[in-house]
Amino acid sequence: IASSGRPCTASDRASHSSLSNLAWDSYATGEETMTEIMLNGLTTNSPAALLGVAKSWLSPPKVEVEGQGYRNDGYDPTQRAFVLTKAAEAASPSVGLIFQASAASPLFDPAILIKDWGEEGATLKINGKEVAEGEDFREGHIRRLGGTDLIVWLREEATQPTKIELSLRGRFGKSHKGRPQ
């Protein structure tokens, strides 16, 4: 394990920012690779305030997908995102995601990645109520050689089933950068 050379004498008396003294299970291993997933950062929040996000990442809610032509690829812990794939042009212009959130598997500020969505923007409804793009709903695109993905982030917390609907923004809608589609 690469290290700065500054040893940690005890796990509760760290004198540096190296995290090489921590051990956790590998997410994936290969012949010459190993992937481990860890989140670190700084906050002024109490540990109790972080419990919801930790639960949502360790035990994400199950998702049911409504809408023809969309495949549920599941929750990807390496991206901390729920991933779907839009199948060709035959897909319906909207997709519904029903998150089976509970106290044990809460929904906490989810990220949703829809592969092959296209260049269009999206409109959002949560439990039937439209949410305007802004502080509580952000979207962007990931352009690849083979297509364009939509990435959506929502400020939403729930411990009961929650329906999120994403629809193609109309031809004269605005993209996340304010340019006409």
Dump pLDDT digits (tens) for 116-170: 999 999 999 999 999 999 999 999 999 999 999 999 999 999 999 999 999 998 6
Q: Is residue 171 scored above 50 in pLDDT? A: no
140 contact partners, CB below 8 Å, separation of at least 6:
150, 151, 176
Token pair 């590998």 is found at: 26
Share of the chain above pLDDT 90, in %: 59
Residue 181: pLDDT band with limits 50, 70, 90: very low
156/164 Cα distance (integer angstroms): 10
Token pair 């990645």 is found at: 113
Higher pLDDT, 181 or 76: 76
Average pLDDT over residues 105-113: 97
Quick one: DSSP state of residue 68? T
Residue 178 has a pLDDT of: 46
Higher pLDDT, 181 or 153: 153
Residue 3 has a pLDDT of: 53
119/141 Cα distance (integer angstroms): 7
144/127 Cα distance (integer angstroms): 32
Q: Is residue 177 scored above 50 in pLDDT? A: no
CA 88 to chain centre: 23
When mean pLDDT is compared over 25-39, 81-95, 136-150, the highest value belongs to 136-150
Q: What is the pTM of this model?
A: 0.80
